[in-house]
Structure 1
């Protein structure tokens, strides 16, 4: 990399890290709610979970076979099997399990309670499968194929800690220890506002000067992928009064208002005009794409507001840099940032030295290289759709040679 040339001057653009801290401060930890296990997948545990029962709760069979006293069948072999009368059948779920008497066997199924007196299970494949009498052809050692009560979890054990993301195994464990509900962080509720009089719903005919609206659906999807709840309010016209009226109607029910567009230096910047005197600070951030940004709290004590630039790549990259980590941190995710790896550049690239650049890339896992996909222009959404990572070029760097290692953010769920 070329050595740093200069940094933003004092009073100049806000750094990426400074703006990320501002956005993070606006989205505090989400409230704790109790949800049924059926709704817990992907949520973040809000408190440690301590088991009140053993797992397994009782000694049980690990095989279909026969519960026996190991000493009584120790001499069994293929040539000299040991025959025992089958005194009982013990299917899984039987609760009135009788004691195994000396000189007998109980036919037992996987998961069924071990009878008192038995200390081993002979799997059915090592017998003749008899119903009234069984011939055992190989004797097991004591404890064979017996699952002991509490060998997985003992009562009083902390089985999951706060901050655990609940996947299928965790949900299964919670069900196994008898929890019908679990305490998790509530997903932040995000109102996604798509502004612009030129916007048209996909599928409708386009008049001259109109475009299909993409930022709203894209950002709403990004909120949901991050774990939040998104309400999409589309086609807000470039009218300050209409914009303010919609905010008054919707703002009381959300944790975050997320807008795109209307924050640059030109005319008809409806978001900036509507919010500049209502607690939202508009700044330039030393990054590309995504320089114009805004953040604050509506009227000082209302919901958080984050305003993103309108070009689609700028908007989604800004979400990745600032909003996604804030949402995930609010839900208690232990690792709110995207996974980061180092990879060698497949081709050299240049970068403005006064900005941190986020370039769209494709990672080649076979040789550990990363290649830029598409041009860096912020309106080129198709190349972002092809990317599986972002290539990060830090401030103070004007060029990166081929083969030099760079920071790469993996755009994975």
Structure 2
């Protein structure tokens, strides 16, 4: 029986496992998934420090004797008693005996003594030791998408390297005797290869590595050899085209000849019905339809969640948002529809449908930034209807995954 959208996605995600971890210097960690929690090795701040340029004061007094100055990065070397003060810089250690800091703007110097135009309260402008983090506290959680701010936190916690999940290496194969390279002039019955560069771009913009990009004519031997090479050098294989049930569709038999076991060979979706998924040599293999729009939609909704789970990201499932339809659309019931839409933010998301000549129209994705989900039971959509949708992954992990 042909699985529905949710069941097919469940089968994919149940089949893939997180890859092994490796250590990288902080400068190489952005975009990776953190493989283990990070704990601070010190209190933060590690000492009582001044939050302002000004004067450290000991208690309240009509005036203060200035005993010296304290600079950031140096031990104070000063101890204050009642009626005494020391000039202090932002970030400098607060000296023993001081219980507040007077902002420089409120300081009055008269006859070699210091007065306050406005007396600060006890504890004012002092960041206490361990106020932010105590030694041993977790500062970063495994599974996060590492961003530059996380590198700063890791450095503060004493880490010069991090354990991250290694990047997924994906091998691509496009097929079709009628397909010619993008720079060629197509002859009669030929089309340019849009899928190969699109898949390469989808992988790299999502943070994954492309181990090899191959094309094969509809030749079982050539396709089998391509799969053998890709399986040897990749963690996952993506094949676009030749996955339907036609006489010259050689991808599925070729995969089976190298040991692939399919979990499904079709999905009740439109576009993308021929989508197939299986495992070969312990590695996931996706058979994507040859239609470029189907490739885009199935990559976003099925392949990306699998790759992110393999990469160790805690957020790997597609985030579904809610939007209001601004268009009419009719469809035959029976298949879950994936509509390319323009999602416009505001008080609520509004969804517009770009002009399209059908499911094979890649130009319809030119202005689209999201995929709207229309259940198989529905026969149409009217303006004002509420639809769930997923933004393209280029919107970033915070808006694309949960």
TM-score (norm 2): 0.88
Q: Output the CA distance in 2 between the equivalents of 1:36 and 1:131.
A: 55
The answer to which of 63-72 and 38-47 deviates more is 38-47
Once the two structures are TM-superposed, the CA of residue 209 in structure 1 deviates from its matched residue by 4.2
**Does the CA-based 8 Å contact 1:66-1:105 persist in structure 2?**
yes
Q: Would you say the 8 A contact 2:293–2:362 is kept in 1?
A: yes
Residue 22 of structure 2 corresponds to residue 33 of structure 1:
yes
What is the aligned residue count? 391
Judge conservation of contact 1:197–1:235 (CA < 8 Å) in 2. Answer: no
For residues 197-276 of structure 1, what are the structure 2 equivalents within 5 Å? 197-276=177-256
In the alignment, the residues of structure 1 paired with residue 73 and residue 44 of structure 2 have an alpha-carbon distance, to the nearest angstrom, of 16
SS of residue paired to 1:95: coil
Residue of structure 2 in register with 1:182 after alignment: 162
Residues of 2 paired with 1:327 and 1:187: CA distance?
A: 9
Q: Secondary structure at the match of 1:292?
A: coil
Q: Is 1:393 aligned to 2:374, yes or no?
A: yes
1:309 to 262, 275, 289: 289
Residue 3 of structure 1 corresponds to which residue in structure 2? none
**Alpha-carbon distance in 2 for matches of 1:63, 1:292:** 65
User: Which of 3, 10, 13 is the matching residue for 1:21?
Assistant: 10
In 2, are the aligned partners of 1:97 and 1:113 still within 8 Å (CA)? no
Contact 2:48 2:94 in 1 (8 A): yes
Of residues 39, 52, 67, the one that matches 1:50 is: 39
Long gaps (5+) in structure 2:
397-402
- Answer whether contact 1:83 1:136 (CA < 8 A) is retained: no
Change (3 A) 1:240 1:134: farther
CA distance in 1, matches of 2:193, 2:18: 32
Distance 1:303 1:129 in 2: 74
Pairwise CA distance, 1:381: 1.2
Alpha-carbon distance in structure 1 between the residues aligned to 2:162 and 2:11: 31
CA contact (8 A) 2:76 2:94 kept: no
Query: Does 2:135 match 1:146?
Result: no
The match for 1:372 among 337, 347, 353 is: 353
CA contact (8 A) 1:263 1:307 kept: yes
Give the secondary-structure state (helix, strand or coil) at the position aligned to 1:55.
coil
The CA deviation at 1:204 is 4.6
- The 8 Å contact of residues 57 and 101 in structure 2, kept in 1 or not, is answered as yes
Farther-moved stretch of structure 1 (124-133 vs 35-44):
124-133
**How far apart, CA to CA, are the structure 2 residues paired with 1:150 and 1:67?**
20
Return the structure number with greater relative CO, CA threshold 8 A, min gap 6: 1
Residue 274 of structure 1 aligns to a residue whose secondary structure is helix
Q: Is the 8 A contact 2:220 2:254 kept in 1?
A: yes
Query: Do the aligned residues in 2 keep the contact of 1:33 with 1:183 (CA within 8 Å)?
Result: yes
Deviation at 1:272, TM superposition (A): 2.6
Please tell me whether residue 362 in structure 1 is matched to residue 342 in structure 2: yes
Query: Deviation per CA, 1:341-389, whole angstroms, max 9, x where unpaired?
Result: 2223222211121111001111233464322222362321121131122
Partner of 1:405: 386
**TM-score where L is the length of structure 1:** 0.86
| CA deviation after TM superposition for structure 1 residue 397, in Å | 1.9
Match of 2:330 in 1: 350
Q: Distance in 2 between matches of 1:225 and 1:68?
A: 54
TM superposition shift of 1:291: 0.6
SS in 1 for 2:136: coil
Deviations 1:40-72, CA, capped at 9 Å, x for gaps: 223323223222210101111101111121323
- 8 Å CA contact retained: 2:243, 2:287: yes
Does the CA contact (< 8 Å) of 1:280 and 1:294 recur in 2?
A: no
What's 2:142 paired with?
162
Question: Residues 302-335 of structure 1: CA distance to partner in whole angstroms, max 9, x if unpaired?
Answer: 4221110011100111112211111222233333
Match of 2:278 among 278, 296, 301: 296
For 1:6, the equivalent position in structure 2 comes to none
> Which is worse superposed, 22-31 or 197-206?
197-206
